[in-house]
Amino acid sequence: MRKTSLALAVAASTLGLSQMASADLIGDTKVSLEARNFYFNRDFREGAGQSKQEEWAQGFILRMNSGFTEGTVGFGADAIGMYGFKLDSGDGASGSGLLVPDRSGGSQDNYSGLAVAAKAKVSNSTLRVGQMQFKNQAIGSSDSRLLPQIFRGGNLVSQEIEGLTLDVGYLDEVNNRNSQDYEDMTLNTYSFSGIQFKGVNQSNEFIFAGGNYKLTNDLTAGYYYSNLEDMYKQHSFNLVHVLPLGDKQSLKTDLRYARSTDDGQSNVDNKAFGAMVTYALSGHSFGIGYQQMDGDTGFAYIGGTDPFLVNYVQIGNFAAKDEKSWQARYDFNFASIGIPGLTFMTRYLTGDNIDRGAGVSEGREWERNTDIAYVFQDGALKNLGVRWRNATMRNNFSRNVDENRLIVSYTLPLM
């Protein structure tokens, strides 16, 4: 595994920007520090092996996004500094993903990371080169633990045409959320995905190209092509429509389809369809979702990332081979009754028809999630957020799980 030497080199190269600083470069710079305290408990309800994963850790995330220098081509830099340390990780309870594993089967006391990206802007197009996070149909960096997942590469985003966003990227390494090293990427595997490999599950090249176009004020279409070298190729389509229904009412329809095939070293063959319809009334939201997998394998995506699936939730992805799943979801924003900052979400998902192999009954699973969060709006505790995430997962093919996450975060704007 390779260390963060490239990040340091990029950081050094961007220091020269300080001599080109303009009012826009400094004046448009945003700097914030997030302190994230994270308690994670996953209780395996039965079966042999580790009985639970339980860890408590403190993390700090410093984010800096500069403006751009003046001129036809504007230059700048973005940076993310990360540091996390262990507060508690009992014997035999590690593996939560909060901390870096050690060779004894436990967790390291602390870890850190630095992500720096140089950037250049011409008109409404911006090129970034270095380390960064991504969130699009092709790839979603995970930020569901103590420190975020970071990728190394380049990214060009162009918005030259009104309503159209074009997005192109090339990545070669990843620093996962419980790691302090940059390494090659992998193709994610999970229970009954059906995914197999001819060689090593490892790749040092991921490319994507696509974008979104706002067809009307209410309708947006998206398409991305992506390729994890030697592992899979994917075409992803998305259509989102928001229908206004009157005062404080709307109906949102989110349709997703992805076609994934192998790229020489795997057997990936998947068609994934997903639909989510959400009715919003004042602070209430009621959603119904459906997801279906077809083909010789389940859905394909980079290891450790958040896949672009409507039924990807706290524990499960409901994307096993041939799986069909439903979701019912309810959200309430208490700002609608005069309590801004307080939100509530609960959902229930059930999946079946999972191909477990010849002569074996179909796989079935269900998961229930609850998420309650509050962010203080003013006073001495302004910007302090408290979130409790609870999940229960049951199935007929692996160990059942009860999970709780308690996250206390405070974001301090510095510039």
Q: Rounded distance, CA 1 to CA 71, Å?
A: 40
Confidence of residue 5 (pLDDT cuts 50, 70, 90): very low
Across the chain, mean pLDDT equals 93
**What token pair was written down for 329?**
């979801």
Confidence of residue 106 (pLDDT cuts 50, 70, 90): confident
Residue type, 343: T
pTM of the full predicted structure? 0.91
**Res 22 pLDDT > 60:** no
pLDDT of 19? 43
For 74-103, write each residue's pLDDT tens digit. Answer: 999 999 999 999 999 877 789 899 999 988
pLDDT of 131? 98
Confidence of residue 1 (pLDDT cuts 50, 70, 90): very low
**What token pair was written down for 323?**
């799986």
**Res 13 pLDDT > 80:** no
CB burial string 375-388: b at 16+ within 10 A, e below? beeeeeeebbbbbe
pLDDT of 170? 98
pLDDT of 11? 42
For 185-236, write each residue's pLDDT tens digit. Answer: 999 999 999 999 999 999 999 999 999 999 999 999 999 999 999 999 999 9
Burial class (CB in 10 A: 0-12, 13-18, 19+), 370: middle
25 versus 404: which is more confidently predicted? Answer: 404
Three-state DSSP at 90 gives coil
The CB-based long-range contact list for 316-319 (8 Å cut-off, 24+ gap) reads: 316/349, 316/351, 316/365, 316/367, 316/393, 317/190, 318/291, 318/349, 318/351, 318/365, 318/367, 319/190, 319/193, 319/272, 319/291, 319/293
Q: Rounded distance, CA 241 to CA 253, Å?
A: 5
Residues 6+ apart with CB under 8 A from 344: 331, 332, 334, 371, 372
Average pLDDT over residues 153-158: 98
Residue type, 348: Y
